[in-house]
């Protein structure tokens, strides 16, 4: 899944100009579209990705760094030396 996300270009036409986020308890934050993507959306995505990874590792699922790097596999070559 990460490879699919990493290979997607940002469609700036679909990024909102402003984003109002209700955080609960009467607290909110207003962000520009770019701030929303860079400062809220991506950090939250990676937080949940790493948390999921940690939980899976703690229960013995055999995953590791290579699972994060699958998008590079088409570029990996064998040395002839």
Percent over 70 (pLDDT), the chain: 81
Instruction: Provide the H-helix boundaries in 11-64.
Output: 33-35, 42-58
Please give the residue range of the domain that contains residue 46: 13-75
Residue 6 CB contacts under 8 Å (≥ 6 apart), including other chains: 71
Number of domains in the chain: 1
d(CA 70, CA 12): 26
pLDDT at position 10 is 66
| 81 located within any domain | no
| 21 located within any domain | yes
- Average of per-residue pLDDT across 52-78: 91
> pTM, whole model, 2 decimals?
0.62
Q: What is the CATH number of the domain that holds 58?
A: 1.20.120.450
């Amino acid at each position: 899944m990460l490879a699919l996300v990493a290979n997607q270009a940002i469609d700036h036409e679909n990024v909102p100009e402003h984003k109002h986020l209700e955080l609960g308890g009467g607290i909110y934050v207003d962000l520009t579209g770019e701030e929303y993507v860079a400062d809220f959306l991506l950090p939250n995505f990676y937080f949940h990705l790493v948390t999921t990874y940690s939980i899976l590792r703690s229960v013995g699922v055999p995953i590791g760094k290579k699972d994060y790097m699958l998008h590079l596999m088409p570029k990996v070559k064998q040395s002839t030396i």
